[in-house]
């Protein structure tokens, strides 16, 4: 195949497993699994401000030719494609689907925790009716059940092949699947060097692309290039076709040069924030949190850290102080106002400020560092002395889990970005992702209720309530949604912003 039929893609991190379910898998690994495996269903896409993004609300069949949700919402029946074959030529049957989903909810793997957000928790919920019919039963109607099956974890595995590699301790062939693929996806693994590169070739039998076609590129090369400036050089020189994780400064300068296609999509299912530990003094005082919210130079931070690329989540005006919508993340009505900040600080009983430590991840330095410097400077003006701490990634996540960090910046992403999903996962319970350790009974109960709320208007109303509580309590200060800057050769077409913030290679083609 020619160079034109090859897609070369470089990333900062690297692919570390071929089975996305393995603990520790990277986003790059997810992207690979998306094209080597099929799932039952996949997300459709929609346009947002003129850019293509994935659509949570339109789920289309992938291995399933069609699906049907029972009127009570408790049963989903999938009709499998007759022509679907695994890469070894054997047909995809409902048995394979059953085995794969059983694996996803039973084995000690990542899928388990994810699928539970869609009420998929037990193997007994899955049933193979006949070779081409498959049925999922839910305990309660759950609108996230179907989208969950479109995420990266519930891959459909060639069960016969996989079973031949099981052992007593490893009944789900985890060890084997980590280094081998047994899927029906659009691409076939050619070579895999963990941490370095992956080469894939097209599966010519695969026909689940747009318009029932094969994937466009005959060959895929994925390489990890840790140095971001080099990634920018590579794509600019045309040696690489597409890059998504560039530094904001590089993306900006490449865009300015105008030689390449730069598609910047604000990561609408993600958010960067400054979190405070709501249980830890002095941040246990809501006025302290509010003071901080009004003491940050958002515009400067946005400009310095992201070069203005993305969507600020502050500076809104909420008429009558109520949230204008139930969507999340939502622009907050906060802005830099030192007087107000001082007033809040005084109200909290810290008229002279206090000292604290602000932490961020080493891996995030490029954006977090300028942001932290500005934060320190600005908080200094209201008497809060900030010591900046840069932590290696593992330490940061450990301390976050142990709830030891008082004040830090992080980001969150929701693969299934609905308001209740965000609130339930990131603002409730004593768990890692509740960064601010907020424990608000009202918020928790509304969020839990909203999960199973089928009525759209009621759901919206719940969303508004949640947003209002969130603003009132200010558990963390939302900053922005960074944009995903996909920089690619002008000839590349078909890029869609995906839920896992990686490129879906199957979409891409060369003009």
Partner 1 sequence: MSSATLQHAAFILRGNPITAVAAAGSTLLILVGLFAPWLAPYDPIASDVANALQAPSAAHWAGTDQLGRDVFSRIIVATQLDLTIALSAVGISFVLGAVIGALCGYTGGRLDRSVGRFVDVLMAFPLFVLAMAMVAALGNRVENIVIATAIINLPFYIRFARAEVNVRRNLGWVEAARASGESHVSVVLRFLLPNVLPAMVVQMSLNLGWAIINAAGLSFIGLGVKPPTPEWGIMVAEGARFISTGKWWLVAFPGLALMLAVLCFNLLGDGLRDILDPRQRT
Partner 2 sequence: MKLASTAKRAARRFASSLPALFGVLVFTFLLMRVLPGDPAVFFASGPNAGKEEIETIRKQMGLDKPVPQQLVLYLYDVGRGNLGRSLMTGQNVTKDLKERLPASLELTFSALLIALVSAIPLGILAALRPGSLIDHGVRLFCALGVCVPTFVSGLLLIYVFYYLLGIAPDPTGRVDIFMTLPPSHTGFLLIDFLIAGDFEGWWAAFKQLILPACTMALFVIAPLARITRASMLASLGSDFVRTARSVGLSWWRIVVTYALRNAILPVITIAGIVFSTMLGANVLVEKVFSWPGVASYALDALLSSDYAPVQGFVLLMAFVFVIVNLVVDVLYGIADPRISIG
Interface residues toward partner 1, by CB under 8 A: 227-229, 232-233, 236, 247, 249-250, 252-253, 297, 299-300, 303-304, 362-363, 365-366, 369-370, 372-374, 376-377, 387-392, 395
For partner 2, the binding residues in 257-316 under the rule CB under 8 A are none
Residues 369-428 that bind partner 2 (CB under 8 A): 392-399, 401, 414-415, 425
| Nearest C-alpha neighbor of 129 from the set 64, 38, 217, 71 | 64
* Residue 315 interface partner, choices partner 1, partner 2, none, CB cut-off 5-8 Å depending on type: none
What residues between 422 and 441 interact with partner 2 by CB under 8 A? 425, 431-433
> Which region among 35-43, 111-119, 280-288, 319-327 touches partner 2 (by CB under 8 A)?
111-119
Q: How far apart are CA 48 and CA 63, in angstroms?
A: 27
> Coil, helix or strand for 415?
coil
Site for partner 2 in 236-265 (CB under 8 A): 236-237, 239-240
210 binds partner 2 (CB under 8 A): no
DSSP labels, 310-361? EEE------GGGS-S-S-SS---S----HHHHHHHHHHTT-TT--EEEEEEE
Nearer to partner 2 by Cβ, of 320 and 402: the residue is 402
Q: Does 194 interact with partner 2 (rule: CB under 8 A)? A: yes
Binding track, positions 71-110, relative to partner 2; x by CB under 8 A: -------------------------------------x-x
Spatial CB neighbours of 293, under 8 Å, sequence gap ≥ 6: 332, 334, 341, 474, 477
Question: Which among 66, 65, 63 has a CA at the least distance from the CA of 101?
Answer: 63
Residue 103 to residues 123, 157, 505, Cα–Cα distance (Å) = 8, 10, 26
* DSSP-assigned states of every residue in 178-244: HH------SEEEEEEETTTEEEEEE-TT---SGGG---S-SEEEEEE---HHHHHHHHHHTSSSEE-
DSSP string of 392-409, one letter each residue: -HHHHHHHHHTT--SEEE
- Cα(4)–Cα(507) distance, integer angstroms: 16
Angle CA(211)–CA(154)–CA(246) in degrees, nearest 5?
70
1, burial (CB in 10 Å: exposed 0-12, middle 13-18, buried 19+):
exposed
- Residue 297: name its binding partner from partner 1, partner 2, none (Cβ under 5 to 8 Å by kind): partner 1
Q: Which is nearer to partner 1, 249 or 261 (CB)?
A: 249
Size of residue set near partner 2 by CB under 8 A: 56
Instruction: Name the strand (E) or helix (H) holding 462.
Output: helix 456-473
372 binds, among partner 2, partner 1, none (CB under 5 to 8 A by kind): partner 1
Beta bridge partners of 358: 388
Site membership for partner 2, residue 4 (CB under 8 A): no
Q: Which is nearer to partner 1, 128 or 391 (CB)?
A: 391
- Residue 254 or 276 having the CB closest to partner 1: 254
Residue 196 interacts with which of partner 1, partner 2, none, CB < 5 to 8 Å by class: partner 2
Q: Which does 113 bind (CB under 5 to 8 A by kind): partner 1, partner 2, none?
A: partner 2
Stretch of residues binding partner 2 (CB under 8 A), selected from 42-50, 67-75, 193-201, 468-476 = 193-201
Contact (Cβ atoms closer than 8 angstroms) between residue 482 and residue 451: no
Which of partner 2, partner 1, none has residue 398 at its interface (CB below 5 to 8 Å by kind)? partner 2
CA nearest 52: which of 258, 241, 268, 257?
268
In the complex, what is the shortest distance from the CB of residue 390 to partner 2, in angstroms, rounded to a whole number? 11
> CA 396 from chain center: how many Å?
19
Does the footprint of partner 2 cover residue 365 (CB under 8 A)? Answer: no
- Residue 386 Cβ vs partner 2, minimum distance, rounded to whole Å: 21
Catalog residues that contact partner 2 under the rule CB under 8 A: 3, 6, 8, 10, 14, 16-17, 22-25, 108, 110, 112-114, 116-117, 178-179, 193-197, 221, 223-227, 229-230, 233-234, 236-237, 239-240, 362-363, 392-399, 401, 414-415, 425, 431-433
């Amino acid at each position: 195949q020619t160079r034109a039929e090859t897609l070369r893609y470089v990333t900062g991190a690297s692919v570390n497993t071929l089975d996305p379910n393995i603990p520790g898998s990277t986003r790059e690994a997810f992207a690979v699994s998306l094209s080597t495996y099929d799932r039952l269903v996949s997300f459709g896409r929609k346009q947002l401000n003129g850019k293509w993004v994935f659509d949570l609300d339109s789920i289309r069949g992938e291995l399933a030719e069609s699906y049907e949700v029972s009127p009570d919402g408790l049963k989903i029946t999938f009709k499998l494609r007759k022509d679907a074959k695994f890469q070894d030529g054997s047909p995809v049957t409902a048995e394979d689907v059953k085995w794969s989903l059983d694996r996803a909810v039973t084995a000690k793997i990542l899928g388990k925790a994810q699928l539970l957000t869609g009420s998929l928790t037990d193997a007994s919920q899955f049933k193979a009716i006949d070779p081409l019919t498959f049925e999922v039963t839910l305990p309660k109607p759950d609108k996230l059940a179907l989208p969950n099956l479109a995420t990266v974890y519930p891959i459909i595995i060639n069960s016969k092949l996989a079973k031949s590699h099981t052992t007593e301790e490893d009944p789900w062939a985890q060890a084997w699947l980590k280094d081998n693929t047994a899927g029906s996806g659009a691409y076939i693994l050619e070579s895999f060097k963990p941490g370095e590169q992956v080469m894939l070739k097209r599966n010519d039998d695969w026909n689940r692309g747009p318009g029932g076609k094969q994937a466009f590129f005959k060959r895929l090369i994925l390489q990890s290039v840790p140095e971001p400036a080099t990634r920018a050089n590579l794509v600019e020189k045309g040696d690489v076709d597409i890059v998504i994780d560039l530094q904001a400064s590089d993306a900006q300068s490449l865009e300015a040069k105008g030689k390449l296609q730069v598609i910047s999509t604000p990561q609408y299912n993600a958010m960067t924030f400054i979190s405070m530990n709501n249980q830890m003094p002095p941040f246990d005082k809501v006025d302290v949190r509010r003071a901080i919210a009004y003491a940050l130079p958002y515009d400067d931070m946005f400009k310095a850290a992201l070069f203005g690329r993305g969507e600020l989540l502050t500076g809104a005006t909420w008429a009558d102080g109520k949230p204008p919508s139930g969507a999340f993340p939502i622009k907050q009505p906060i802005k830099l106002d030192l007087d107000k900040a001082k007033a809040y600080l005084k109200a909290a009983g810290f008229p002279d400020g206090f000292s604290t430590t602000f932490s961020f991840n080493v891996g995030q330095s490029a954006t977090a560092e300028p942001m932290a410097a500005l934060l320190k400077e600005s908080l200094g003006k209201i008497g809060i002395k900030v010591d900046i701490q840069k932590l290696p990634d593992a330490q940061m996540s450990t301390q976050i889990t142990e709830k030891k960090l008082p004040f830090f910046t992080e980001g969150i992403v929701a693969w299934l970005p609905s308001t209740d999903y965000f609130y339930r996962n990131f603002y409730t319970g004593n768990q890692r992702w509740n960064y601010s350790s907020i424990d608000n009974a009202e918020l928790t109960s509304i969020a839990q209720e909203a999960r199973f709320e089928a009525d759209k208007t009621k759901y919206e109303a719940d969303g508004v309530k949640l947003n209002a509580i969130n603003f009132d309590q200010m558990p963390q200060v939302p900053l922005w949604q960074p944009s995903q800057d996909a920089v690619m050769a002008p000839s590349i077409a078909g890029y869609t912003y995906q839920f896992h913030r990686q490129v879906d290679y199957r979409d891409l083609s060369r003009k």
